[in-house]
A and B are shown apart, each in its own frame.
Chain A
Amino acid sequence: MTQTVDRPETTTPEGDQTPERPRWSQLFPELGTGAVSTDRFISQEFFDRETKLVFGRSWINVGTVHDLNGAKTFFTRDLKVVGVSLLVVENASGGIQAFHNVCSHRGNKLVWEDSGPCPFMFSCRFHGWGYKHDGALASVPDEGEFHFTGEPDHPDKSGLGLVPVRTEVWNGFIFVNLDANGTDPLSDHLGPLAESFEGFPFDKFELRSRYEVQDDANWKVIIDAQNEIYHLPMLAPQHRFLGGGAFQTNEEGFTRLSDFERYGLHTLYTSDSDVNWVDTPLRTAMAKLNTEADVPMFPLRAPFMFHVCFPNLIIGFLGNFMFTYNVWPESVGHSVWEIRMHHPKAENLADRVTHDLMKVRFRDLLCEDVAGHAALQVGLESRARDIFVMGDQEVQIRAFHKNLDVYMERADND
């Protein structure tokens, strides 16, 4: 359930630039305003707790239908942080199921390819054990030499199929939950975030590019760095002069959120555009060449929307462009930042060029962000300070850390 029911209107139609605007800290007093310990970014103990309680028990987005190619296709996904390799299969009737990518014989990694059409059977390269697409063990070379009796400590073939992992698909996003004892459905986890996306036409998007960036920073440093627009007018030159200026700012040139929501464990912040922003000659020329590109195709409440789907999935929109991030922790100070860019289907060459220009512009912007992450991590690990502070325009970061604490406390007590 959202926590915004009694919240008064926060913005004027022209944008959020009036002194009477309530500060976010007043609207969300439960988030507080004080400094927060940096321990969470640099402590091995905290990282181990997160690994066990969050990545080991929460619903985690491991891919999308764009990683499959219809019925009888698969992809594999290694989740280093929890030490698991997954095989995700779309079967002949379109159902999607994840399994542990482990042969039941002696534990070898079953499928080594990243993705592709399903082979006749998934066959282990070690001894040839073969599994059907539903995970059933169907073929054991030299089967007569085994003791498949079904007696205690002697599982038979029916008990030696691939081990399934709880899997659910929401709007094309494939989620798994590694807690085999858990019973909470994905809908419980998504809660009001799912409601906010009711009827949203995700299927109009195509995946156009994908990056995996090795990032020397704690996974939460990366999420925090993206989860605000305070830095947009400052970080230079890409943000300040090319991309960041498109966001709403006040008279002094400081960015202002147009909205912020808490959706259970998840958050949303939005921004309007800057009506005074003058774009680059190239982008201006492209806009003239492709006048259709900016006609809104999706029901967005603001031109820029940034959702954080706990724990590590970001779903963002910038006009008709959707970007998603999955931030994968690998160790306290190292993560892999997976970036995906989606556009509606290109109808013509002008669309293709518009999309490619967005790709390079967005990518370069994110490179500028990445350059700072490693230095941030060094600064935190130096323990020069043991606290960090946040302003009102960073309320969504406060909410993210609060949600993490609440989740871990709940998981600890379960």
Chain B
Amino acid sequence: MRHLCSVADVPAGALLTVRLEGLPDLLVCHVDGKFHVVEATCSHGAVPLAEGRVLGCEIECPLHAGRFDLTTGEATRRPAKKPIQVFTCVADDGELYLEQPGVLVEAGMASTSG
């Protein structure tokens, strides 16, 4: 497991970009009491998703407004088409940890534990 950040670094509704060596930039999102970790760069326009906005459980790219499901990484709105990677994380004693680095989670799997 690799340390991502403190839980306090990502209050409700917030987006945080985290860089870990050997991995693509990661985006940590806190939505409805759950933490989601996805690839931080849009698969369509190569721009940081951290500059975008969260709508329900989707992240919208600020450049062309494509959207991705935060739990599955699926592209949910064009022009985004290629999914982004999602990662699993766990919270332990106020800190967030990346559970299984580099794994593309299949659609339908939950991505966090509280």
5 A–B contacts from the bound complex (CB under 8 Å): A120-B47, A130-B63, A139-B46, A139-B47, A139-B63
Q: B47 to A141, Cβ gap below 8 A?
A: no
- Known pairs A120-B51, A128-B79; A139 contacts B45 (CB<8 A): yes
B31-69 interface bits toward A, Cβ cutoff 8 Å, 1 = contact, 0 = none: 000000000000011110001100000000011100000
Query: What residues on A are CB-neighbors of B52 within 8 Å?
Result: 120
Instruction: State the CA gap A123–B62 with chains docked (Å).
Output: 10
Query: What residues on B are CB-neighbors of A121 within 8 Å?
Result: 47, 62-63
Q: A141 to B62, Cβ gap below 8 A?
A: no
If A128-B64, A139-B46 are given as contacts, then 7 extra A-B residue pairs at C-beta distance below 8 Å, sorted by A number, are A119-B62, A120-B51, A120-B62, A123-B63, A128-B45, A128-B79, A141-B45
A105-147 interface bits toward B, Cβ cutoff 8 Å, 1 = contact, 0 = none: 0000000000000011101000010100000000101000000
Q: Which of B44, B46, B63, B79 contacts A120 (CB 8 A)?
A: B63
Instruction: State the CA gap A128–B66 with chains docked (Å).
Output: 12
Instruction: State the CA gap A386–B21 with chains docked (Å).
Output: 81
* Residue of B with least CB distance to A142: B44
* Residue of A with least CB distance to B46: A139
Query: What residues on B are CB-neighbors of A141 within 8 Å?
Result: 44-45, 64, 79
Query: What residues on B are CB-neighbors of A128 within 8 Å?
Result: 45, 63-64, 79
Instruction: State the CA gap A130–B64 with chains docked (Å).
Output: 9
| Cβ of B71 to closest chain A Cβ, rounded Å | 24
The interface of chain A, by Cβ under 8 A from chain B, is 119-121, 123, 128, 130, 139, 141
The interface of chain B, by Cβ under 8 A from chain A, is 44-47, 51-52, 62-64, 79
Instruction: State the CA gap A215–B28 with chains docked (Å).
Output: 57
Instruction: State the CA gap A141–B81 with chains docked (Å).
Output: 13
Query: What residues on A are CB-neighbors of B47 within 8 Å?
Result: 120-121, 130, 139
Query: What residues on B are CB-neighbors of A119 within 8 Å?
Result: 62
Instruction: State the CA gap A315–B63 with chains docked (Å).
Output: 40
| Cβ of B16 to closest chain A Cβ, rounded Å | 17
Query: What residues on A are CB-neighbors of B46 within 8 Å?
Result: 139
- Known pairs A120-B62, A121-B63; A130 contacts B51 (CB<8 A): no
Instruction: State the CA gap A128–B51 with chains docked (Å).
Output: 17
Query: What residues on A are CB-neighbors of B62 within 8 Å?
Result: 119-121
| Cβ of A131 to closest chain B Cβ, rounded Å | 11
* Residue of B with least CB distance to A123: B63
* Residue of A with least CB distance to B65: A123
Instruction: State the CA gap A121–B52 with chains docked (Å).
Output: 11
Instruction: State the CA gap A141–B43 with chains docked (Å).
Output: 11
Instruction: State the CA gap A203–B23 with chains docked (Å).
Output: 51
| Cβ of A238 to closest chain B Cβ, rounded Å | 50
* Residue of A with least CB distance to B61: A120
Instruction: State the CA gap A139–B51 with chains docked (Å).
Output: 15
| Cβ of B54 to closest chain A Cβ, rounded Å | 15
| Cβ of A126 to closest chain B Cβ, rounded Å | 12
Query: What residues on B are CB-neighbors of A120 within 8 Å?
Result: 47, 51-52, 62-63
Instruction: State the CA gap A119–B62 with chains docked (Å).
Output: 8
Instruction: State the CA gap A128–B46 with chains docked (Å).
Output: 12
| Cβ of B78 to closest chain A Cβ, rounded Å | 11
* Residue of B with least CB distance to A120: B62
Query: What residues on A are CB-neighbors of B64 within 8 Å?
Result: 123, 128, 141
Query: What residues on A are CB-neighbors of B51 within 8 Å?
Result: 120
| Cβ of A395 to closest chain B Cβ, rounded Å | 57
Instruction: State the CA gap A121–B64 with chains docked (Å).
Output: 9
| Cβ of B65 to closest chain A Cβ, rounded Å | 9
Instruction: State the CA gap A141–B46 with chains docked (Å).
Output: 9
Query: What residues on A are CB-neighbors of B44 within 8 Å?
Result: 141
Instruction: State the CA gap A376–B79 with chains docked (Å).
Output: 55
* Residue of A with least CB distance to B66: A128
Residue among B44, B45, B46 with most chain A CB within 10 A? B45
